[in-house]
A and B are shown apart, each in its own frame.
Chain A
């Protein structure tokens, strides 16, 4: 079945630095969703991308879907403490989500 690989597993940044997480697949993705899970919390839907080359922005968050629809990225500009958590990408396949492993954003003290 389809798999979604996500890297890195962790990213440590100073507050104010940027953060990026990447999702990749060996096959074409019909869509990609992004979720955020705060420590001790539950996943919260951020966005869904469906079009080749799509770029969407939500304040400091920029989401991209590759031209070949085999990769996607989430970029956060100037991280803040409220950004801390684990970011997951997921493929919606017939209403089942195929999840990436997640990238944990850690703000260095």
Chain B
């Protein structure tokens, strides 16, 4: 299985809602990533987990809270988001060289 899966595909939420994005990979990759991508821009790194431990937090606001329950799963908990947080949220995993990206969650914050 060389796939990274993400749910949901689309999410619309209000600024007071709490929601979670989920990511799963079964390739045994030790590193997992969350990215945010705005239209016409490259992906912007948010968090990196290495061996289930948070190793990089790119100064992301606390309204985004990552969680790595086990080596195959990665969650991103969302709370009190702003309209400017609307974007494509991508999960990726790697075992050294290339990163394998999931299809992303298209998030709209109203």
Binding site for B on A (CB under 8 A): 33, 41-45, 48, 88, 90, 92, 95-97, 99-102, 104
- Residue in B closest to A9 when the chains form the complex, CB atoms: B40
Instruction: Report the stretch among B11-19, B68-76, B77-85, B93-101 that lies at the interface.
Output: B93-101
- Residue in A closest to B50 when the chains form the complex, CB atoms: A95
- Between A and B, 17 residue pairs with Cβ closer than 8 Å are A33-B97, A43-B43, A43-B90, A43-B99, A45-B98, A45-B99, A48-B97, A88-B42, A95-B94, A95-B96, A96-B45, A96-B48, A96-B56, A97-B99, A99-B42, A99-B43, A100-B42
User: By the criterion CB–CB under 8 Å, are B100 and A45 in contact?
Assistant: yes
User: Which residues of chain A have C-beta atoms less than 8 A from B97's C-beta?
Assistant: 33, 48, 92
Most chain A Cβ neighbours within 10 Å, of B31, B43, B98, B103: B98
B3 CB, nearest partner CB in chain A, Å: 11
A contact patch SS? strand
- A86 vs B103: C-alpha distance when bound (angstroms): 15
Contact partner of B101 among A43, A92, A99, A102, CB < 8 A? A43
What are the interface flags for B29-43 relative to A under an 8 Å C-beta threshold, 1 for contact and 0 otherwise? 001000000001111
- Residue in B closest to A102 when the chains form the complex, CB atoms: B42
User: By the criterion CB–CB under 8 Å, are A95 and B31 in contact?
Assistant: yes
Q: Known contacts A42-B90, A95-B31, A95-B94: does B101 contact A101 (CB below 8 Å)?
A: no
**B66: Cβ under 8 A from any A Cβ:** no
A22 CB, nearest partner CB in chain B, Å: 16
Other than A92-B97, A95-B31, give 7 A-B pairs with Cβ distance below 8 A: A43-B101, A45-B99, A45-B100, A88-B42, A95-B48, A95-B96, A97-B99
